[in-house]
């Protein structure tokens, strides 16, 4: 089961002028499509956007985005309403039927102005969940077991925790934390404090086939 989508990039020549261009990864969700579902560019599917400002500096990197999306503009994938249908307004990873990549240039320049640069994109892929149980020496991965971090009230999300080891360390520092879920740029820890924080209802557990 996928938790996130990743894309490798290499900026060979930075965007000039800087600050005006960014990369977009768009996922196409067909969960509510009934007709013309395979028609390019996906106007009859739900379109979920992610935005990545990585084009201004030479170098290599990886964009990793958790597969969580809605019409909320703070989500990892945002259904902007610019293209596609409303559908059920929630990104359904099991029904992603396509994707698009866009390089967008803003409208702050003069009419006819351009932005120049070169970027190579490769290795678009899905990322599995990483679940670890906290121990005194670190986290122990638990293969085949996943936690549904989207259920309300069960987890607290810490943003911009890029490495799973850092997420593990946050859990290890909290005596009430028994496990942590790390993917993309987010770390999920059981919400609340004290022993009850370790008691997660069975519905929160998902076992992958």
Q: What is the pLDDT of residues 131-142, one digit of tens each?
A: 555 555 566 666
Look up residue 108 and give its two tokens: 């702050």
Residue 145 is predicted with a pLDDT of 57
Q: Which residues contact 47 (CB under 8 A, 6 or more apart)?
A: 26, 27, 28, 29, 79, 80, 82, 83, 84
Residues 62-91: tens digit of each pLDDT:
998 888 889 988 888 999 999 999 999 899
Residue-wise DSSP of 107-145: S-S-TT---EEEEEEEEEEEEE-EEEEEETTEEEE-TTE
How many other C-beta atoms are found inside a 10 Å radius of the C-beta of residue 51? Answer: 16
pTM of the full predicted structure?
Answer: 0.63
Query: What is the average pLDDT across 20-44?
Result: 91
Give Cα 137 to chain centroid, integer Å: 29
Question: How much is the pLDDT for 15?
Answer: 94
pLDDT, tens digit, 9 for 90 and up, residues 9-22: 999 999 999 999 99
Residue 84, pLDDT score: 92
Q: Is the pLDDT of residue 155 over 50?
A: yes
- Sequence-ordered list of residues with C-beta below 8 angstroms from that of 136, at least 6 positions apart, any chain: 172
Residue with tokens 């996906």: 42
At residue 198, the pLDDT reads: 41
The residue among 64 and 172 whose pLDDT is bigger is: 64
d(CA 71, CA 81): 8
Helix (H) or strand (E) holding 105: strand 96-105
Look at residue 47 and give its three-state secondary structure: strand
Task: Please give the pLDDT value at position 93.
Answer: 87
């Amino acid at each position: 089961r996928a938790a996130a989508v990743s894309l490798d990039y290499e900026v060979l020549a930075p965007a000039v002028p800087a600050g005006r261009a960014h990369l977009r990864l768009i996922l196409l969700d067909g969960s509510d499509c009934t007709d013309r579902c395979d028609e390019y560019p996906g106007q009859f599917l739900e379109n979920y956007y992610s935005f990545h400002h990585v084009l201004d500096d030479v170098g290599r990197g990886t964009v990793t985005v958790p597969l969580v999306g809605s019409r909320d503009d703070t989500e990892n994938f945002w259904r902007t309403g610019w293209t596609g249908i409303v559908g059920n307004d929630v990104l359904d990873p099991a029904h992603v039927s396509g994707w698009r990549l866009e390089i967008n240039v803003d409208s702050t320049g003069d009419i006819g102005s351009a932005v120049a640069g070169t970027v190579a994109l490769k290795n678009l892929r899905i990322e599995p969940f990483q679940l670890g149980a906290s121990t005194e020496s670190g986290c122990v991965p638990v293969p085949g077991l996943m936690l549904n971090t989207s259920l309300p009230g069960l987890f607290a999300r810490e943003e911009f925790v890029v490495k799973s080891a850092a997420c593990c360390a946050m859990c290890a520092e909290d005596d009430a934390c028994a496990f942590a879920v790390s993917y993309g740029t987010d770390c999920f820890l059981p919400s609340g404090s004290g022993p009850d924080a370790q008691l997660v209802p069975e519905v929160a557990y998902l076992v992958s086939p």
